[in-house]
Amino acid sequence: MKSAPFEYTRAASLAEACELLRRHGDGAKILAGGQSLVPMMAMRLVRPAWLVDINEIPDLKFVKVEKDAVRIGACTRQCVVDRDDAIAARVPLLRQALAWVGHVQTRNRGTVGGSLAHADPCAELPLAAQVLGARMQLRSGGGTRTLDAAKFFAGPMMTSARPDECLEEIQWPVWGEKRAGSAFTEIAIRHGDFAMVAAAAQVALDDKGRCTRATFGLGGVGGIPLAFPQIAARLVGTRLEDSAIEDAASAAAAECDPGGDLHATKEYRRHLARVLAARVLREARERAGSL
């Protein structure tokens, strides 16, 4: 359980990190919080030749609460976001998701960008990003580009970021509606473990209680976290009655193709997908209604 030898550089700036990534290409890996990468290196599931440590780059640690988006620097610790009431007021799904992420010790070290770049299909933050349509700003020596979550997640532990790109910031859309609500839940063997299935939703209602906007998604049921924009669009105009929610949850579960393992069969995961999708939609509706 010791990492294999590697070369290490503590990058002092984002420009230096990008230059190192360009120089070392596929052999280099970015070390952010290390809460997934380091155990994988200890188990020798990965053996990068170079680690580019971005933990001491001040420019990657920030929270900017703006009118339309909350912008979070990629190397911002999960605990910092969790404690931030201004973020919780504008993007409540983030704190709701973080409540399920690991433990105190891992949230103190783990970063928002690291979790997204790691792209575990069971992980909470990638699901939240997918459901909200977060935008990932990537930097390389050649400049920056921004990808929607839907384009960013490419497969299990895979993203569309090139080897020479570093995630710089994540833009989380703020919903301006007065009556909006969100919810996150999951089933895991123990709290803090990887989710067997996770679900997240956010809805907005008008003053008559009709749904004006809805989004929801599921984690752990495919190679990437899944959002269901077409199914969610059918909820718009309804009063989010239980029957409409049940229909949407069933339709989403039918689109999932979860794998089975020792802990949960394929059928059980699909069952959870339906039950949890309905649960978060109902909770989001209640929170939107209570304002």
Partner 1 sequence: MSETLHAISVEVNGKPRSAQVPARLSLVDWLREELRLTGTHVGCEHGICGACSVMLDGEPVRSCLMYAVQANGHRITTVEGLAKPDGSLSVLQDSFCETHGLQCGYCTPGMLIASQALLNSNPDPTEAQIRDAIGGNLCRCTGYQQIVEAVQLAAQRTRTK
The contact set with partner 1 (CB under 8 A) reads 1-8, 10, 31, 34-35, 38-39, 42-43, 51, 53, 55-56, 79, 102-106, 108-109, 191-192
Helix, coil or strand: residue 243: helix
Cβ proximity to partner 1, 2 vs 67, nearer residue: 2
Which contiguous run of DSSP H or E holds residue 151? Answer: helix 149-152
Which residue's CB is nearer to partner 1, number 6 or number 268?
6
80 versus 218: smaller Cβ distance to partner 1: 80
Place of tokens 């997240």: 200
Closest distance of CB 34 from partner 1, Å: 5
The encoded tokens of residue 248 equal 């949407």
Report the nearest approach of partner 1 to the CB of residue 165 (Å): 22
Which DSSP helix (H) or strand (E) runs through 286?
Answer: helix 266-289
14/204 with CB nearer partner 1: 14
Complex with partner 1: residue 32 or 201, whichever CB lies closer: 32
- Report the C-alpha gap between 79 and 145 in whole angstroms: 27
Question: Could you tell me where the beta strands, DSSP code E, fall in 102-178?
Answer: 135-140, 143-148, 153-155, 158-159, 166-173
Q: How far is the CB of 3 from partner 1 (least distance, A)?
A: 4
Measured in residues, the chain has a length of 291
CB of 106 to partner 1, least distance (A): 7
CB of 38 to partner 1, least distance (A): 5
Q: Is 153 exposed, middle or buried (0-12, 13-18, 19+ CB in 10 A)?
A: buried
Least distance to partner 1, CB of residue 74, Å: 17
- By C-alpha distance, which of 95, 100, 5, 103 is closest to 48? 5
Closer residue to partner 1 (CB): 82 or 283: 82
Rounded distance between C-alpha atoms, residue 134 and residue 71, angstroms: 10
